[in-house]
Chain A
Amino acid sequence: MLAKGFIGPIGDDIPSLIPLLLGLVIFFSTFTTAFNSFDRINTEFDSDLAVMNITRIMQSNSYVVGYDEYKRHCDEIGVVNSSFIAVLTDNWVNESTALPDAQSIFDIKIFEDSENHLYTCSNLSSSGAPEFISDYLSAENAAERKVSSRVFPIALEDEKIVKPMHLVVITWR
């Protein structure tokens, strides 16, 4: 009689193991989800911080006096744990180079001044002579990566004319 229902030291605790295992599954599932969420958001923060740091250096006081100053700012950018590109463009300002409304930032044309300097700065080499942002990062490649981009107005002095421009900064991993 004493052994009635007794199926061994472990077998006797099988009903209690079910909530235990369920609890462990719930906990580790939640933990994994939370960890992935933290990781994703931290990556976004890193991208945003990288964009902010690059922007802060490249824009300086929002007034760029020619290509030499632009390159000097570019050289001041330290190690960035992402690929980046920072270009000046007049696509939004100059009607002759304006983008059709529906086109993406990858189609932005890099500004070329009167002395044929291209206002681009990147820690990557472009595929051939860069002309558009897509020469560094195409829309197809961007779809597979975490891309962060920002646009800021900036004034550029070219041929003693202060031209309104836009600084486009894109980082990706």
Chain B
Amino acid sequence: MIRGRVWKFGDDVNTDVIMPGKYLAMHDPAEIAPYIMEGIDPDFGKKAKPGDIIVAGKNFGCGSSRETAPGGLKAFGIGAIIAPTFARIFLRNAVNIGLPVLECPAAAADIREGDVVAVEMATGRITDETTGRTYQASPFPPFLQELIAAGGLIPYVRRRLGVA
């Protein structure tokens, strides 16, 4: 169970604002984690806490394929991201590295900043504990569920290569 305080963002949050280009040559997630969402709110890394949940509008993570964007969010400890839709490269990257993402238009519309939300990844059930409302995220196709259950692409490839 993932449980955290909500930070809200609008539509079309792009990877340039999630992790600006100046940090692109840094590949150590811990090094980039403090700068997440810097392009929208330079203080976000100071205000947010590990475990917090991001609820955003449509097309979250559009633009550049930089993995420092989902990588930074995961390294910071963002518990989950809820949005009506995700940009496709961001969605792949998030699943590959094990950053929990859920597509749920109703939850994304209703949930307010500061609410405390609980998320069950296995079932896609989202509970807004502040309002008492519950939501059901769109299930990912079985292929993606397997990848998520395997813990992302690294364990999946290790298994395929027969690496212990």
Do chains A and B stick together as partners? no
Q: A residues near B, CB below 8 A?
A: none
